[in-house]
Structure 1
């Protein structure tokens, strides 16, 4: 490695073999992750944030 080169940040294999999930299992994992992150399913938070930054067009 020459001086000034960035360190190698590539991920190394963990030794664990990835298992293929069924659609149902993948869906359940996604829903659980969304619950943990307290995701808003209604979109209300997005609408509030959008209204703060977007101005209505002038008439």
Structure 2
């Protein structure tokens, strides 16, 4: 895994962690907050889900 991808994974995880308690930011919200594209955030979130670092919650997990 490249340095840029690792950095972006940390950025996405940080934006998720910064969300107010009890809230669950969408991929679009994480993209807007991070400056990454929605496609990049979706790919990175997929990696975090696969690694068991985060889990999906909401209406359609």
- The alignment's TM-score, normalised by the length of structure 2, stands at 0.30
Kindly name which structure, 1 or 2, has the bigger radius of gyration based on alpha carbons: 1
Query: Higher RCO, 1 or 2 (CA under 8 Å, sep at least 6)?
Result: 2
TM-score norm. by structure 1 comes to: 0.31
Higher helix share: 2
